Amino acid sequence: MSSGAPPIVVIKDLNKSYRRGTQIIPVLNSITFSIDEGEFLALMGPSGSGKSTLLNLIAGIDKPDSGLVSVGGVDITSLNEAELARWRAANVGFIFQFYNLLPVLTAYENVELPLLLTPLSRRERREHVETALQVVNLTDRMDHYPGQLSGGQQQRVAIARAIVPDPEILVADEPTGDLDKTSAKEILELMERLVHELGKTIIMVTHDPRAAEKAHIVRNLEKGVLNNVHS
Amino acid sequence: MFILKLLIRNAFRHKLRTALTVVGVAIAIIAFGLLRTLVGVWYMGAERSSATRLVARNAISLIFPLPISYKERISQVQGVKEVSYGNWFGGIYIDEKHFFANYAVEPKTYLDLYPEIVLPPAEKTAFIRDRKGCIVGQKLADRYGWKIGDIITLRGTIFPGQWEFVLRGIYRGAEKSTEERALLFHWDYLNETLRKTAPQRADQVGFYMIGVANPDLAAQVAVEVDAMFKNSLAETMTETERAFHMGFIAMTSAIVVAIQIVSYVVIAIIMIVAANTMAMTARERIAEYATLKTLGFGAFHIAAIVFGESLFIAMTGGLLGVLLTFPGADWIETELSQYFPSFSVSPSTVYLDLLASLMIGAVAGVFPTWRGATIRIAEGLRRIG
Ligand SMILES: Nc1ncnc2c1ncn2[C@@H]1O[C@H](COP(=O)(O)OP(=O)(O)OP(=O)(O)O)[C@@H](O)[C@H]1O
Ligand SMILES: [Mg+2]
């Protein structure tokens, strides 16, 4: 499994709990693990076990109580809000269960969103957006609004949006959770291609055993503790 | 650019909701603008009134008369150029619904003192010559289709009887604010009739109009006139026409204050309604704002999108309201012409309208903006499932 290169994600002694009133709910207990570059990791576990929480910590949209999260050599727990935002925009692509496209923007405009924060010119942005839409095979639908697309197509647009700034890692929280079997299969094959052809690292939370099959490694989170299932 | 595009598209997302909010703001702004105009019109008579004209009336109250014999004595006060006099007649044409102002005045001096009443010279001469003659304003003549030579009959209330007048002239106002809906006739005609029917009421006037040579003399003349009749049977109260009007307005000031309060209440209500709508809208879009933040957009971007949408909707309603206020005011001017000599929207009302719309947008937007800008991503994303 290890090729000698340092892992892209390193997590050490990670703790996270939520406060609900006076009650403290521990979610993650001293999690330690790492992910190699180019890995396709599936995170499984019962509902409420903290999968989304862990994913959010790795992606830099939530802060741990203690512990280290290092991504691509950067200790993201030490970044402030604005630094994190900039870091996310450049380094992480997000794929959500419900696609999270802006309904008032066309497929093209949705994919263009992350590039609006870069110094790229309009023409350069157009090239990037078209390339990303080619990867997900949706160039013919770029002027459609999300409401005019099927679930699978919307998720492909979301994937195009995730890869358009060329991030190293992609995080996906139940990307097939809202899709029928055929569309789910399509999305999983697309994600496999992103790993194999573009060398992306993917961390995917899923309940779907078929989705987990596509992954190289499956890890199981239960009661805040991580177990290796197979690799 | 992108923010503008997004906020405008967001605004048109719930077409019905946005349309209702826009219409609501527009109606509130129309109401606000018309009420402000009403208050302005109320004061306009006083503001435009002459500073070189004084009004003398009975010190006890407007409804008590003064003897006609005061005229000569007032004329002799230093600085007085001309004296006219008259009575509020209070006659009714057909029935109470057809209200318009009518006065008995001494025609020659009255027209001298009121250059804003513009009559063709021939009509003016005809009016002054005919003791039973009267003149009416253009708008009043238009309303009843009166022509020169028509007989106009008023039923007296203060002075009972049927009173017939021959229309000798139709005047125009020199300014927009000049009342063009009044009827003026000869005080002599009134007085001679009273001599026969109610001699104890004859030779008395309701008010003296005193023209002074220049405005600086007005205060001094007023003091001297009042001093002259001190301790007489009918003491006078002399003040500038403006003060006279203000005194009249003071009697109605409670109404004016109420109207002003209502105009602000209208704005406050629409603010609350719009704030509720914007909060509802923002709540529905929390996951979208969280998504934008996930992609690296900052609190400032979100704030601009939410606040901008609120301002955009409120200003659209506000502009629509301002545009519709003008036909609304025109409508009032024609339909309620007997109450308002003119009903025109002033530039300051338009500015106030726009300011009010801006405030509506800002107040409605501030809470959702704060919510959107400060939402924590992980929480915002959880709202979706
Ligand atoms: N903001 C929060 N405040 C309080 N408790 C929270 C918050 N976010 C998550 N939790 C709790 O933390 C636990 C883990 O939540 P998380 O969403 O990570 O679970 P999950 O494994 O992704 O579940 P699912 O498979 O249902 O998505 C749950 O008990 C949840 O109720
Ligand atoms: Mg989850």
> Which residues line the pocket of ligand 1, CB cutoff 6 A?
A 18, 20, 25, 27, 45, 47-53; B 379
- Best probe residue, ligand 1, of A20, A27, A47 (max atoms within 8 Å of C-beta): A27
- Quick one: pLDDT at residue B385? 45
Q: Which two tokens stand for residue B191?
A: 């007085």
* Distance (Å) of CA B189 to CA A177, B70, B137, B166, B186: 97, 19, 20, 12, 5
- Quick one: pLDDT at residue B383? 66
Q: Which two tokens stand for residue A160?
A: 């195009």
- Quick one: pLDDT at residue B338? 63
Alpha-carbon span A103 to B96, nearest angstrom: 62
- Quick one: pLDDT at residue A98? 93
* Closest listed residue to residue B173, CA positions, set B118, B123, B119: B118
Per-residue b/e over A61-95, b at no fewer than 16 CB within 10 Å?
A: bbbbeebebbbbeeebbebeeeebbebbbbbbbbb
Nearest to B294 among A88, A97, A103 (CB): A88
Contact B296 A85 (CB under 8 A): yes
Checking DSSP bridges between strand B133-137 and strand B80-88, what pairing results, if any? unpaired
Q: Which two tokens stand for residue B44?
A: 């306009």
* Distance (Å) of CA B249 to CA A123, B53, B62: 68, 18, 14
pLDDT at residue B200 greater than cutoff 70: yes
Alpha-carbon span B170 to B326, nearest angstrom: 28
Q: Which two tokens stand for residue A71?
A: 């991504």
Q: Which two tokens stand for residue B354?
A: 């726009």
- Quick one: pLDDT at residue B378? 87
Q: In chain B, which residues have their Cβ closer than 8 Å to the Cβ of A88?
A: 294-296
The nearest CA of chain B is from the CA of A34 a distance in Å of 22
∠B371-A167-A99 over CA atoms, to 5°?
A: 50
pLDDT in tens, B285-309: 999 999 999 999 999 999 999 999 9
Q: Which two tokens stand for residue B363?
A: 């107040």
Q: Judge whether B33 and B345 are in contact, CB under 8 Å.
A: yes
Those of residues 80-99 in A touching chain B at CB distance below 8 A are 82, 85-86, 88-90, 94, 96-98
Alpha-carbon span A205 to B195, nearest angstrom: 107
pLDDT in tens, B347-378: 999 999 999 999 999 999 999 999 999 998 98
| pTM score over 0.95 | no
- How many other CB atoms are there within 10 angstroms of residue B24's CB atom? 20
The CATH architecture to which A37-61+81-230 belongs is: 3-Layer(aba) Sandwich (3.40)
Q: Which atom of ligand 1 is nearest to the CA of A56?
A: 18
- Band of residue B47 on the pLDDT scale cut at 50, 70, 90: low
Q: In chain A, which residues have their Cβ closer than 8 Å to the Cβ of B9?
A: 104-105
Q: Radius of gyration (Cα) for chain B, nearest Å?
A: 30
- Quick one: pLDDT at residue B162? 93
Residue of minimum CA distance from atom 4 in ligand 1: A18
Contact B291 A102 (CB under 8 A): yes
pLDDT at residue B48 greater than cutoff 80: no
Q: Which of A44-58, A143-157, B155-169, B237-251 has the lowest mean pLDDT?
A: B237-251
Total count of residues recorded for chain A: 231
pLDDT at residue A112 greater than cutoff 60: yes
How close is the Cα of A48 to the center of ligand 1, in Å?
5
Cα-Cα-Cα-Cα dihedral of A79, A80, A81, A87, to 10°?
-30
pLDDT in tens, B218-271: 888 999 999 999 988 899 999 888 777 766 666 667 788 899 999 999 999 999
Contacts of B25 (CB under 8 A, 6+ apart): B270, B274, B313, B314, B316, B317, B318, B320, B321, B357, B360
Alpha-carbon span B46 to B336, nearest angstrom: 20
Provide, rounded to the nearest whole percent, the portion of chain B with pLDDT above 90: 70
* Distance (Å) of CA B201 to CA B67, B68, B131, B194: 10, 11, 19, 7
Helices assigned H by DSSP within chain B: 2-11, 15-48, 70-75, 107-113, 121-129, 138-144, 187-197, 218-228, 241-251, 253-284, 286-294, 299-335, 347-374, 377-382
How close is the Cα of B288 to the center of ligand 1, in Å?
20
pLDDT at residue B384 greater than cutoff 60: no
ipTM of the shown complex: 0.93
pLDDT at residue B208 greater than cutoff 90: yes
**Is residue B44 left, alpha or beta, with left meaning phi > 0 and alpha meaning psi from -120 to 50?**
alpha
pLDDT at residue A106 greater than cutoff 70: yes
Which whole number is the average pLDDT over B49-68? 86
Alpha-carbon span B336 to B343, nearest angstrom: 9
In sign, the C-alpha dihedral spanning B256, B258, B260, B262 is: negative
Test the A interface: residue of B285, B286, B295 with most A CBs within 10 Å: B295
Please provide the average confidence, as pLDDT, over all residues in chain A.
92
pLDDT at residue B26 greater than cutoff 90: yes
* Closest-CA residue of chain A to B285: A102
Contacts of B274 (CB under 8 A, 6+ apart): B21, B24, B25, B310, B313, B314, B360, B361, B363, B364
Contact A89 B298 (CB under 8 A): no
Q: Judge whether B62 and B86 are in contact, CB under 8 Å.
A: no
Q: What is the DSSP letter of B10?
A: H
Q: Judge whether B133 and B166 are in contact, CB under 8 Å.
A: yes
Cα-Cα-Cα-Cα dihedral of B154, B160, B164, B169, to 10°?
-60
pLDDT in tens, B111-166: 999 998 999 999 999 999 999 999 999 989 999 999 999 999 999 998 999 999 99
* Closest listed residue to residue A214, CA positions, set A222, A223, A224, A206: A206
Alpha-carbon span B161 to B201, nearest angstrom: 14
Nearest to A94 among B13, B294, B385 (CB): B294
Nearest to A100 among B10, B291, B297 (CB): B291
Q: What are the residues whose beta carbon lies below 5 Å from ligand 2 (ion)?
A: A 52
Which whole number is the average pLDDT over A170-180? 93
How close is the Cα of A174 to the center of ligand 2, in Å?
7
- Quick one: pLDDT at residue A1? 47
